[in-house]
């Protein structure tokens, strides 16, 4: 049985850990609020972009032509995996790896390259057979617009030049402060919108400039918006997962400290009882 001094030392250690986890919980909560605001700002913009493209497609009577719509034989695929730079966020990263690894198994016979966003993704795939095309890290849970534009330029450039035939994103969709879902979405090629002929509509619009020029201007912005939204949702989910993990850790540390305090009191009482018995035994021996 540990001595009271040993138990007291453990109590101090656990309480010190609880203070650290509580501080990390508060930091994660503050970052979550900012990240959640970015998600709430990005989603309406992305929805409006989809709506705008849909209206243009509905008003066009001819087939829409743009490199991002090109469907071709899939010889090579690119998987963009978005996770975190740091740990201590519960099962956040593990769930992302699990979904990505499942997709990799489903596409075992295809030539696949990985774009890793987050140090944890790089570390996970570094010693595996899948090659990492590019790595982007040191985000700190915040969107770096320069890095994000570099990612978009890399992906769209490789798709347009034919270096890859399909690009997919694996990221965590932010649903609420305590709810997240890992999703896999196709990034490129973009699903071709239906034209007015396909819908049987009779809308008459005059395009100035031409519909092709409008799409040429909008599609890069659409690709950038889609990437920004995925990054914003992933980072918000990361902060939410870390906040919950630190909340649980703080609560567990408190329960452990209470249990150790009880153990300390028992050990102290046992020691006092032992010392009293020794004193009484000594006094009885002197009498005898």
Q: How much is the pLDDT for 199?
A: 46
Residue 64 is assigned to a structural domain of this protein:
yes
Q: How much is the pLDDT for 198?
A: 43
Q: How much is the pLDDT for 129?
A: 75
Residue 130 is assigned to a structural domain of this protein:
yes
Residue 266 is assigned to a structural domain of this protein:
no
Domain of 215: which CATH number?
A: 3.40.1380.10
Q: How much is the pLDDT for 127?
A: 80
Residue 138 is assigned to a structural domain of this protein:
yes
What is the C-alpha separation between 11 and 97, in angstroms, rounded? 36
Whether residue 146 contacts residue 152, with contact meaning beta carbons closer than 8 Å, is answered with no
- pTM, rounded to two decimals: 0.84
* Secondary-structure breakdown of the chain: helix, strand, coil percentages, each rounded to the nearest 5: 60, 15, 25
For residue 33, give its domain range: 28-243
Whether residue 86 contacts residue 246, with contact meaning beta carbons closer than 8 Å, is answered with no
What is the C-alpha separation between 124 and 116, in angstroms, rounded? 10
Q: How much is the pLDDT for 148?
A: 87
Of 221, 224, 206, residue with least CA distance to 56: 206
List, for residues 205-224, the tens digit of each pLDDT value.
666 777 677 777 888 888 99
Q: How much is the pLDDT for 201?
A: 45
Q: How much is the pLDDT for 17?
A: 94
Residue 217 is assigned to a structural domain of this protein:
yes
Residue 255 is assigned to a structural domain of this protein:
no
Number of domains in the chain: 1
Q: How much is the pLDDT for 204?
A: 58
Residue 271 is assigned to a structural domain of this protein:
no
Q: Which residues of the chain have pLDDT under 50?
A: 198-202
Residue 192 is assigned to a structural domain of this protein:
yes
């Amino acid at each position: 049985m540990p001595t009271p001094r040993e138990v007291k030392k453990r109590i101090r250690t656990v309480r010190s850990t609880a203070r650290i986890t509580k501080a990390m919980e508060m930091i994660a909560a503050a970052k979550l609020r900012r990240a959640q605001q970015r998600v709430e700002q990005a989603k309406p913009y992305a929805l409006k972009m989809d709506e705008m493209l849909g209206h243009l497609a509905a008003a066009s009577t001819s087939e829409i032509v743009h490199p991002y719509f090109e469907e071709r034989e899939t010889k090579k695929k690119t998987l963009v995996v978005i996770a975190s730079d740091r740990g201590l966020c519960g099962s956040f990263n593990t769930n992302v790896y699990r979904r990505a690894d499942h997709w990799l198994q489903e596409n075992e016979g295809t030539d696949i390259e990985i774009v890793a966003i987050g140090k944890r993704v790089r570390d996970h795939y570094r010693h595996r057979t899948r090659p990492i095309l590019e790595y982007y890290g040191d985000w700190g849970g915040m969107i770096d617009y320069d890095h994000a534009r570099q990612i978009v330029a890399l992906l769209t450039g490789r798709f347009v030049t034919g270096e890859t035939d399909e690009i997919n994103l694996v990221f965590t969709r932010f649903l609420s402060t305590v709810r997240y879902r890992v999703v896999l979405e196709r990034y490129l090629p973009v699903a071709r919108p239906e034209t007015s002929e396909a819908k049987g509509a009779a809308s008459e619009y005059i395009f100035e400039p031409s519909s092709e020029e409008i799409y040429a201007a909008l599609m890069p912005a659409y690709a950038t918006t889609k990437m920004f939204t995925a990054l914003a949702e992933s980072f918000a989910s990361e902060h939410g997962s870390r906040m919950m993990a630190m909340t649980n850790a703080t609560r567990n540390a408190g329960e452990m400290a209470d249990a150790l305090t009880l153990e300390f009191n028992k050990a102290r009482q046992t020691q006092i009882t032992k010392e009293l018995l020794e004193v009484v035994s000594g006094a009885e021996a002197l009498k005898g």
